[in-house]
């Protein structure tokens, strides 16, 4: 069996401030302070769906959540304007698992930032649940809108380093004004869904990359956002951890969570319901159903070809 990632149980390096804020009498602390079951590093996450325990009736599937229309983005880099997005239009509907794929530098992250309200488009509109998020709204409005409606996962998680896994996951709920006990309880439940509850009392940096990303997903969905947005979430992971993360996203999508994911790795197209091909600032193809199956079979064929070459 591979060596466990964490050899010691709870470390003593938690700053005073945190332990004051998190008294041992706290019920959630009492639950999670039970001895840790050591989980070997890189262990495969059992491939069992989370569906039966948590699935709610799926309502309003197919309702439009996000619409981008004619989005153009140019950056002024002093000497010249660089045109990064050249007129992007698409919609994401409730229940979708949209994977936006394209090579590095084609404008994927820029487009995501615009959808998230982080960067105004030079031209065009972004509509979220029927409301134009840039028209007559301040940055503050958009920050509020993100807190309530969007969960984000990046290639690298930005942890509050002084906080435990559990506290990091609870953080977005506390930002929304929920009390600490409720937030910590919900965080524990969410970690359980991710099969990460045994790590609740560790510091995020003590976890493997794959485990950190599972915790990032917990942090992203704890507020039950309308949409989970992931920018290259598997970018720092090895193949197996990447697949396990995709299984997790797939399960969440089956539970009704709308997902938008950006990747340069064609491998992940097969997890999507809608695959959008981005090239040089434009969406060149949108693939669903049979079209997507045809695209996937082409990609598989290419891979098979390559493996033949490699054997030579
Ligand atoms: N703030 C910025 N200022 C100038 N150029 C930028 C800025 N942000 C992104 N770009 C440029 O836009 C292009 C697309 O970047 P990005 O959206 O990050 O691509 P991707 O995520 O597909 O790799 C790149 O050439 C990048 O250098
Ligand atoms: Mg990017």
Q: Please check whether residue 211 is in contact with residue 199, taking contact to mean a CB–CB distance below 8 angstroms.
A: yes
Q: Is the beta carbon of 277 within 6 A of some atom in ligand 1?
A: no
Question: Best mutation site among 74, 84, 86 for ligand 1, i.e. most ligand atoms within 8 A of its Cβ?
Answer: 84
Q: Residue 232 C-alpha to ligand 1 middle, in angstroms?
A: 14
Which ligand is in closest contact with the Cα of 230? 2
Residue 86: domain span = 59-311
pLDDT level of residue 310 (50, 70, 90 thresholds) = low
53, part of any domain: no
Q: Is the beta carbon of 168 within 6 A of some atom in ligand 1?
A: no
24, part of any domain: no
**119 vs 153: CA distance, rounded Å:** 17
**57 vs 287: CA distance, rounded Å:** 27
CB-based burial label for 15 (10 Å; 0-12, 13-18, 19+): exposed
Would you state the pLDDT for residue 6? 33
147, part of any domain: yes
Ligand 1 atom closest to the CA of 113, numbered from 1: 17
CATH number at residue 244: 3.40.50.300
Ligand 1 atom closest to the CA of 119, numbered from 1: 1
The 8 Å CB, 24+ separation contacts for 138-141 are none
- The total domain count for the chain is 1
**154 vs 161: CA distance, rounded Å:** 17
pLDDT, mean over the chain: 83
Share of the chain above pLDDT 70, in %: 77
Instruction: Provide mean pLDDT across the span 208-231.
Output: 96
Please name the residue whose Cα sits nearest to atom 4 of ligand 1.
75
Q: Is the beta carbon of 117 within 6 A of some atom in ligand 1?
A: no
For 9-27, the pLDDT digits (tens) are 344 333 333 333 333 344 3
For 157-183, the pLDDT digits (tens) are 999 999 999 999 999 999 999 999 999
- Assign 297 to helix, strand or coil: helix
For 276-297, the pLDDT digits (tens) are 999 999 999 999 999 999 999 8
214, part of any domain: yes
């Amino acid at each position: 069996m591979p060596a466990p990632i964490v050899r010691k149980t709870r470390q003593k390096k938690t700053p005073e401030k945190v332990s004051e804020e998190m008294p041992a009498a706290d019920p959630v602390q009492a639950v999670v302070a039970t001895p840790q079951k050591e989980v070997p590093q890189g262990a495969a996450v059992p491939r069992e769906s989370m569906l039966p325990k948590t699935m709610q009736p799926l309502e309003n599937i197919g309702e439009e959540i996000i619409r981008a229309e004619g989005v153009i983005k140019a950056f002024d880099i002093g000497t010249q304007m660089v045109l990064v997005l050249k007129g992007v239009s698409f919609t994401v509907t409730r229940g979708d698992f949209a994977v936006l794929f394209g090579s590095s530098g084609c404008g994927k992250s820029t487009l995501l930032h615009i959808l998230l309200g982080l960067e105004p488009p030079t031209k065009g509109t972004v509509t979220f649940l029927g409301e134009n998020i840039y028209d007559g709204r301040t940055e503050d409005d958009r920050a509020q809108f993100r807190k309530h409606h969007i969960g984000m996962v990046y290639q690298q998680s930005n942890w509050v380093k002084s906080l435990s896994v559990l506290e990091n996951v609870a953080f977005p709920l506390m930002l929304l004004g929920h009390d600490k006990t409720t937030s910590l309880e919900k965080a524990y439940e969410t970690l359980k869904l991710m099969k990460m509850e045994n790590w609740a009392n560790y510091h995020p940096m003590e976890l493997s990359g794959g485990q950190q990303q599972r915790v990032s997903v917990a942090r992203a969905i704890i507020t039950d956002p309308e949409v989970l947005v992931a920018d290259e979430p598997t970018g720092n992971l090895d193949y197996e951890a990447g697949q396990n993360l995709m299984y997790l996203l797939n399960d969440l999508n089956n539970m009704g969570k709308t997902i938008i994911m950006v990747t340069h790795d064609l491998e992940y197209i097969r997890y999507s319901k809608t695959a959008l091909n981005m090239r040089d600032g434009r969406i060149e193809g949108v693939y669903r159903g049979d079209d997507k199956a045809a695209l996937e079979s082409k990609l598989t064929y290419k891979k098979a070809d390559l493996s033949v070459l490699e054997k030579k």
